[in-house]
Amino acid sequence: MATMTLSKILLLAFAFFFTYIEGRVHGKTKPNHLHIVSLISLPPAPAPAPGPAPARAPQAASPSYYTDSPTPGPSPNLVRSLANVYNVLSFGAVGDGDTDDTQAFKMAWDTACFQNEPAILLAPDDYSFMIQPTVFTGPCKTSLVFQIDGTIMPPDGPESWPSKTNKRQWLVFYKIDGMSMQGGGVIDGRGEKWWNLPCKPHKGPNGATLPGPCDSPVAMRFFMSSNLTVQGLEVKNSPQFHFRFDNCQDVTVQMLSIKSPPRSPNTDGIHIENTNNVQIYNSVVSNGDDCVSIGAGCHHVDIKNITCGPGHGISIGSLGIGNSRACVSNITVRDSVIKRSENGVRIKTWQGGYGSVSKISFHNISMETVRNPIIIDQYYCQTKNCTNQTSAVHISDILYTSIKGTYDVRSPPMHLACSDSVPCTNLELAEIELLPAHGQFVADPFCWNAYGAMQNLTIPPISCLLDGIPQYIGQNTIDQCQDNLY
């Protein structure tokens, strides 16, 4: 009798546990009736327009992360998670790569976002989901995980894009606080048809552009959001920037693989603008533009263990376009590899801007056949018609240490072209060893109005640096961005 009673108790306990788990995981079965109407809001303002074997040479110390592609972090065991799981298949998604699954993602987002406890929005593996241009709006009631284990993709090219929809962005995450986008899946931007628009630089003769519509979407844009993590994903072939963060705070990006062809125009890997307290770690970027680009209004950014190239290197800028103000400070780039790229570590500003770039550190960077491994360009211009102007963003307190490797002999190993009217000041260089990738001739660095010092002997020597601090920089220029320095 006692044995029978115990058996009944165990059976009831198992049934309760199974019912509890079944209730917390919204699985792959589709509901018979869908009456939910998405509460997703209208998009925010559009994103601004963007804009043979090498010779043996001394190398910077290898970073701890040095592989051709990152290993995505393992997907969490969703059944064991304490969070509710909202599988987009349960909201009507098909996942065949052709069917429009936008509404299913919107409804899953709205449902997860309005929960009072942590939630997971799941795009499961073995499915490919086509999503139209969409804004996922917060704030949500609690933290949210967007788990991408399958593939998500936009419509295939300009002709498939909704006619009355903004063509400058695909997926936007707006006013989100506390979200992780992660998984072992793929974000495929399907960018080839956008790259081949007649207006793109490589389509006209000698790199010229041809008339015609030119707007192309950023794949993933985060706008006015905070406490964000993006990790573990493969992201490829965006029509324009792969990731863009505007007006965001406290962002961590890590263990990403970002890839697009070397001639894909304006396909920056990660771009940040007016975004602060950022960590970009342990990722591989190969594309047709900057691997990482830092725009105006950014400070306290740490970039570590990035393998970059082919591409255009890691850039601060461009800054000061259209006589605008730009303040950038407290940026560190360290323990990284740049290979077969048009630039290495770069600061680029337009003539006519104002503000400052200061407290920048480039440390322990390995260069492999890179044009312009170290470059400051205060005459940045995308046409041949830029006029000379007297104002400029002030560049100061820039530290280059342990930058070693080989450079492409088409350009000098160091190019420090500072403004005529606002010189660069306090440039410091130490442990620089840059040798030609081909041949034995070591080119001289180029300097213009660049003030600074070598802390020890560099290869090649930088005899063109000017000593001291120029006396004619106006104090108003230097003080314009003091609020951003600390």
Q: What residues are annotated to the active site?
A: 312
Q: Helix H segments across 149-201?
A: 192-195
Assess whether the previous peptide bond of 310 is cis (omega < 30° from 0): yes
Q: Assign residue 164 a region (left: φ > 0; alpha: ψ between -120 and 50; beta: otherwise).
A: alpha
* Spatial distance between the Cα atoms of 465 and 430, rounded to a whole number of angstroms: 13
- On whether the CB atoms of residues 400 and 429 are closer than 8 A, the answer is yes
Going by the DSSP 8-state scheme, the letter that residue 444 receives in this structure is P
- The half-sphere exposure of 420 on its side-chain side, counting CA atoms within 13 A, is 6
- On whether the CB atoms of residues 406 and 370 are closer than 8 A, the answer is yes
Q: Per the structure block, which two tokens stand in for 438?
A: 């081909």
Angle at alpha carbon of residue 47, lines to 334 and 254, rounded to 5°: 30
Q: Assign residue 378 a region (left: φ > 0; alpha: ψ between -120 and 50; beta: otherwise).
A: alpha
Give the 3-state secondary structure percentages of the chain, helix then strand then coil, rounded to 5: 15, 40, 50
Question: Residue 22 belongs to what H/E stretch?
Answer: helix 2-24
* Spatial distance between the Cα atoms of 294 and 306, rounded to a whole number of angstroms: 15
* Spatial distance between the Cα atoms of 481 and 324, rounded to a whole number of angstroms: 13
- Identify residue 422 by its one-letter amino acid code: V
- On whether the CB atoms of residues 224 and 47 are closer than 8 A, the answer is no
- Tokens 């029509």 label which residue? 239
Assess whether the previous peptide bond of 460 is cis (omega < 30° from 0): yes
